[in-house]
Amino acid sequence: MKNSKELRRWLDDFNLAHPLVIAGPCSAETEEQVLKIAHELKDSDVSIYRAGIWKPRTRPGGFEGVGAIGLKWLQKAKAETGLLMATEVANAAHVQLALEHDIDVLWIGARTTVNPFAVQEIADALKNTDKIVLVKNPVNPDLALWLGGVERLYNAGIKKLGVIHRGFSTYEKTKYRNIPEWQLAIELQNRFPDLPLICDPSHITGKREMIQEVSQQALDLNYDGLIIETHTDPDNAWSDAAQQVTPTRLKQIFEDLRVRKETEEASDYNQKLNRLRVDIDEYDAKIIEILGKRMVVADKIGALKKEKNVAVLQNKRWNEILGKMILEGEEKGLSEEFILRIFKAIHQESISHQEKIING
């Protein structure tokens, strides 16, 4: 994406003294509900009001949105509050209806981002419009697929672009609904620093109690904004009830969040930081050296197994190692989730080494 600074101009136009905030219900349910929430949010730090009109559900039979009638409710909310309106689109027909109702911001959901044909269809329908378009990460942790969606829109002449980090699906049970995989979003930031990055703590956590914690993590990583699902009666919401907060709670979250400075010019800060970074670099080098030595041992184990015609995978041994490392990690202040992720990667690399020896 050439001239990528164009991507951030729409965000600068808000001239905000704080990160961008997008908030509103997971789903538009009734006209009364849409308007009530909008009015409760209009005097807060919210700049854009969000509400799902079409709701792609994992399985049939659930509430799949009120459809096009909800767009009229958003129009009315915009007229009464002055907030910009945002909704999700999944195909060209959705785009056309959203454009006809002057919806300001369109986002492409995680299930749609995984389908390049669907993204291209949306890009073609939006060609050369001036709408703000936000692309959620795909359900699987695939950075190329995420960026590919953005590039399709950019190539269609859409310049007001941004991305939403909503976490990634996993078969593993964790404290998150969708694991953040922060490193992927950081890599995206590094490649395209002018592409606005917005965090969706509602979908990452799936729990309203964790919204503030994950929002703070995002701000600590210099995210440009937050999109938070907000409902006046979240317990009785028609979709995703557990991850929505009330407008009152949302305002309290804003008050409690701390926006960090991107850097500090003071010389003593930079000196201390540089010394600590030297320490980090040294430890990283030692980690690589130790891992290299570990894989040499794995090669020797592979050679022994080949000689004795023994299978590579030894589940009992693996489970013993994992249990031991989790306990030792806890003593060092390392989370079980982190230990599992690290040692599963190490174990997979060890298996790969042994397989090469046995099959070589």
On the 0-12 / 13-18 / 19+ scale of CB atoms within 10 A, 146 is buried
Q: What value does the mean pLDDT take over residues 191-197?
A: 92
Q: Tell me what pLDDT residue 274 has.
A: 81
What mean pLDDT, rounded, does the chain reach? 92
Candidate from 119-123, 267-271, 315-319, 355-359 with smallest mean pLDDT: 267-271
In whole angstroms, give the CA distance from residue 319 to residue 331: 19
What 3 state SS string does the chain have? CCCHHHHHHHHHCCCCCCCEEEEECCECCCHHHHHHHHHHHCCCCCCEEECECCCCCCCCCCCCCCCCHHHHHHHHHHHHHCCEEEEEECCHHHHHHHHHCCCCEEEECHHHHCCHHHHHHHHHHCCCCCCEEEEECCCCCCHHHHHHHHHHHHHCCCCCEEEEECCECCCCCCCCCCECCHHHHHHHHHHCCCCCEEECHHHHHCCHHHHHHHHHHHHHCCCCEEEEEECCCHHHCCCCHHHCECHHHHHHHHHHCCCCCCCCCCHHHHHHHHHHHHHHHHHHHHHHHHHHHHHHHHHHHHHHHHHHCCCCCCHHHHHHHHHHHHHHHHHCCCCHHHHHHHHHHHHHHHHHHHHHHHHC
Split at pLDDT 50, 70, 90, the class of 262 is: low
Q: What is the pLDDT of residues 272-303, one digit of tens each?
A: 888 888 788 888 989 999 999 999 999 999 99
Structure tokens at 15: 């001239």
Q: Tell me what pLDDT residue 3 has.
A: 55
Non-local CB neighbours of 190 within 8 Å, separated by 6+ positions: none
Percent of residues, the chain, with pLDDT higher than 90? 71
Q: What is the pLDDT of residues 331-340, one digit of tens each?
A: 999 998 899 8
Instruction: For domain 4-256, say whether CATH 3.40.190.10 is its number.
Output: no
Q: Tell me what pLDDT residue 56 has.
A: 76
Looking at the predicted structure, is the pLDDT value of residue 44 above 70?
yes
Domain 267-359: give its CATH code. Answer: 1.20.59.10
Q: What is the pLDDT of residues 163-186, one digit of tens each?
A: 999 999 987 778 899 999 998 998
Split at pLDDT 50, 70, 90, the class of 102 is: very high
Domains of the chain by residue range: 4-256, 267-359
Q: Tell me what pLDDT residue 165 has.
A: 98
Tell me whether the CATH fold assigned to 4-256 matches the one assigned to 267-359. Answer: no
Q: What value does the mean pLDDT take over residues 14-21?
A: 90
Q: What value does the mean pLDDT take over residues 305-316?
A: 88
Looking at the predicted structure, is the pLDDT value of residue 344 above 60?
yes
Higher pLDDT, 6 or 130: 130
Q: What value does the mean pLDDT take over residues 223-238?
A: 96
Q: Tell me what pLDDT residue 264 has.
A: 72
Q: Tell me what pLDDT residue 59 has.
A: 72
Looking at the predicted structure, is the pLDDT value of residue 189 above 80?
yes
Looking at the predicted structure, is the pLDDT value of residue 51 above 90?
yes
Q: What value does the mean pLDDT take over residues 55-61?
A: 75
Q: Tell me what pLDDT residue 190 has.
A: 86
Q: Tell me what pLDDT residue 174 has.
A: 84
